[in-house]
Amino acid sequence: MGGDFFVSGGSGSPGGELDDSLPVREEDDFRFSSSYGGVTLWDIDTLEPVAKLPGNSSKTYATVSPDGQWVVSGDENTIGLFWNTDEPQERHRMADYDSGVLLDDLPDGLPEEDYWDASELIDVPRKEKPDEHGIYRPLATPTTIAIAFINGSEEFLRIGHSHYRSDGTSQTYAALFEAGNPWPQAYLDLGTDPFPSVNNYSRNLSIDSAPDANLLVIGHAFDGGITVYRYDPEERTLAKEWVGQ
């Protein structure tokens, strides 16, 4: 929740027009369907939908900034989007970590690279040594399991889904973004010992933050503990504050 709004995120993309979609389905026959899949912005006072925010695919996670100004989403298919709640009809894309921002308004038939703006990409952290194919594996992924504001309404973390890998290629670096800016500003390591609960989509609720205190809390993947991280807005670093088993 943030400001005058809260946001819901689900699977897929919201279907139909807002005026044609009842907030509550009255018929039990429709209990396995929804007109509010994907991301929807809601009014916190009236509990009525304000806007459907389409564009995501598959398992989708979204949040709203504490001041209610920005909705941010990410999904299983690596799509990251954001909206200003003053103009919810205007959708903006977050940059893919390797390719950049997809340009939606270009005609068909251009070379593939012309559809991407990579002008402000930063280097993705990678494993120091190449694998057997000579590839330096990235340690961050846009395949999203959670999004959490970490510095008031100014900055948030996009946290990727990853399994533990004993070869050191677990993708536990989270991308730091500024609200309203499509470009990653830094990649911050969550660490692998203990391994964070980023390995199962059903555990995304074990990831949360206290934005005004610059705190991030993540459960452990393989025990019942939690890790508390503190973000330093000046240095743009993330440090473990406390580990509870």
Of the two residues 234 and 34, the one the predictor is more confident about is 234
DSSP secondary structure string, 121-188?
--PPPB-SS--TTS---BSB---EEEEEEEETTTEEEEEEP----TTTT---EEEEEETT--SEEEEE
- What number of other Cβ atoms are within 10 A of residue 5's Cβ? 21
pLDDT per residue as tens digits for the range 137-164: 999 999 999 999 999 999 999 999 999 9
**Cis peptide bond upstream of 211, omega within 30:** no
Does residue 25 sit within a domain? Answer: no
Is 26 within a domain? no
- Of 150, 230, 165, 231, the residue nearest 198 (C-alpha): 165
Query: How many other C-beta atoms lie within 10 A of the C-beta of residue 21?
Result: 16
44 inside domain: yes
> Is there a contact between 62 and 75 (Cβ–Cβ < 8 Å)?
no
Which bin fits 38, alpha (ψ -120 to 50), beta or left (φ > 0)?
Answer: left
Q: Give pLDDT tens digits for 182-195.
A: 999 999 999 999 99
78 in a domain, yes or no? yes
Range of the domain at 179: 5-19+33-244
Question: What is the count of structural domains for the chain?
Answer: 1
HSE at residue 65, side-chain half, CA atoms within 13 A, is: 21
Q: What pTM was estimated for this model as a whole?
A: 0.90
Is the pLDDT at 25 greater than 70? The verdict is no
Q: How many residues are present in the chain?
A: 245
